[in-house]
Amino acid sequence: MSKLKVALIHDWLTGMRGGEKVLEAFCELFQEADIYTFIWNKGRVSEKIERHKIYTSILQKLPFSKTKYRYYLPIMPYLIESFYLKNYELVISSSHCVAKGIKVKKGIPHICYCHTPMRYVWDLYDDYFGKGKTNFFVRTAMRFLRGYLQKWDIKSSFRVTHFIANSKNVKRRIEKYYGRDAVVIYPPVDISAFPEKRKKDFYLVVTAFVPYKKVEIVIDAFNRLKYPLKIVGTGPEERKLRKMAEKNIEFLGWIDNFKLKEYYAEAKAFIFPQLEDFGITAVESLAAGTPVIAYNKGGVTEIIQDGETGVFFDKQTPESLISAIKRFEKMSFDREILKKKAYYYRKERFINEIKNFIETEIKF
């Protein structure tokens, strides 16, 4: 399998988040693969990815593309279709936006590892483009463009020969929007080298500051509770969130992996307020022996068991979160049970399941 001529497709290479960890695992499996992407901010992803030959689109040369690439969403279908792959034996797209829409010569198998159907135009449209989420001109433009992008998203799904979903949650959305079946293979999570630390009296959030992550709910709740909260992350909503926060809330920016693992291990609990496709940070928290307080919808419900590895809250409101935190504080959790739950999601399991899928499902 390692000798196959493989192309890997990824929407953009601008940081090491969950999708990039999946791409990194594909790079380990196919060490000579070429990578195609809209834009690559050199030095922002791992060496395991950057050692590959990387082809970028014209977006790489357009104004403000390194930081404002999401504003080019309306032309992304055109940009992904500007690539035409014909000299490969296998194409694998790691897609949460439009990567799955790449054009491939007939007869070449195309596996899409789908993190989600294009969330901006489907179930999270209001979180990105609703009133108060962006300016009037962007909202107006998206009202006209949404239908076009939805039609393109459905049409381009038929270029994929095999879908893999990163959770049962995403499998259901693939069936709903594309009318396609998908095999579920959970993404890889780095569960190694979490230190043994004495628990401290703070709660932890690790996230990007974008609308659907619902960080404002957590800040509002902790402003009322006055409990210590540490927030790791950056993003376009950072200024607004910092203005909301009181003195018991500390913003740490993005920190190195070693220090992040220490925070995971020391935290009293990890807060997960968003509706997420899967929930890699929740698994990382379990690997550190830290329970998770999570919104009771989406992929995280496949990871957390209420009362055993964490606590759920049912509404994305400060009141519902506060109620869950107060319930959590009356409970105790076994760190070894949490770590055992996280072990399943290790990278080796992911790579083996992908290899088995290709060997059994793809005819070369």
72 inside domain: yes
Residue 222 vs residues 201, 212, 218, 229, 361: alpha-carbon distances, Å: 13, 19, 6, 7, 49
Cβ–Cβ contacts within 10 Å for residue 199, how many? Answer: 13
Domain count, the chain: 2
Q: What are residue 166's phi and psi, to 5 degrees?
A: -85, 0
Q: Please report, rounded to a whole number, the percentage of residues in the chain having pLDDT higher than 70.
A: 99
Rounded to an integer, the average pLDDT of 274-302 is: 96
104 inside domain: yes
Work out the burial of residue 67: count CB atoms within 10 Å of its CB; fewer than 13 is exposed, 13-18 middle, 19 or more buried.
exposed
pLDDT at 2: 65
Q: 18-29 vs 347-361: helix axis angle to the nearest 10?
A: 60
309 inside domain: yes
Place of tokens 């020969």: 161
258 inside domain: yes
Chain mean pLDDT for the chain? 94
Same domain, 53 and 179: yes
Work out the burial of residue 356: count CB atoms within 10 Å of its CB; fewer than 13 is exposed, 13-18 middle, 19 or more buried.
exposed
Same domain, 306 and 158: no
Please report which residue ranges of 226-268 form alpha helices under DSSP H. Answer: 238-244, 257-266
Q: 335-343 vs 280-287: helix axis angle to the nearest 10?
A: 130
Per residue in 35-48, is it b (16+ CB within 10 Å) or e — as a string? bbbbbbeeeebeee
Same domain, 353 and 295: no
155 inside domain: yes
Place of tokens 């999601």: 345
194 inside domain: no
The radius of gyration of the chain from alpha carbons, rounded to an integer in Å, stands at 20
Same domain, 104 and 130: yes
Same domain, 179 and 31: yes
Same domain, 150 and 258: no
Same domain, 216 and 181: no
Place of tokens 């974008």: 210
pLDDT at 15: 87
At 79-136, the pLDDT tens digits run: 999 999 999 999 999 999 999 999 999 999 999 999 999 988 988 788 888 877 788 8
Between residues 176 and 136, the one the model is more confident about: 176
Q: What is the pTM of this model?
A: 0.89
| Position 45 pLDDT exceeds 70 | yes
163 inside domain: yes
Place of tokens 């399943």: 344
Rounded to an integer, the average pLDDT of 50-73 is: 91
Q: Which tokens in the block code for residue 317?
A: 């409101």
At 212-234, the pLDDT tens digits run: 899 999 999 999 999 999 999 98
Q: In what order do the strands lie in the sheet with 54-56?
A: 54-56, 34-37, 6-10, 90-95, 110-114, 162-165, 183-184
Same domain, 175 and 315: no
C-alpha span between 144 and 187 (Å, rounded)? 34
Query: 235 falls in which pLDDT band (50, 70, 90)?
Result: confident
Same domain, 290 and 279: yes
C-alpha span between 345 and 287 (Å, rounded)? 10
1 inside domain: no
Query: 60 falls in which pLDDT band (50, 70, 90)?
Result: very high
Q: In what order do the strands lie in the sheet with 310-313?
A: 249-253, 229-232, 203-206, 269-272, 292-295, 310-313
**Residue-range definition of the domain harbouring residue 20:** 6-188+346-361
What CATH number corresponds to the domain at position 293? 3.40.50.2000
**What residue type is assigned to position 118 of the chain?**
M
Rounded to an integer, the average pLDDT of 134-159 is: 91
Same domain, 127 and 250: no
pLDDT at 206: 96
Query: 340 falls in which pLDDT band (50, 70, 90)?
Result: very high
Same domain, 230 and 98: no
Q: What are residue 159's phi and psi, to 5 degrees?
A: -80, -15
Same domain, 118 and 222: no
| Residues 54 and 33: beta-carbon distance below 8 Å | no
Rounded to an integer, the average pLDDT of 38-43 is: 94
| Residues 188 and 286: beta-carbon distance below 8 Å | no
Query: 290 falls in which pLDDT band (50, 70, 90)?
Result: very high
Cβ–Cβ contacts within 10 Å for residue 103, how many? Answer: 15
Between residues 245 and 143, the one the model is more confident about: 245
Rounded to an integer, the average pLDDT of 1-10 is: 89
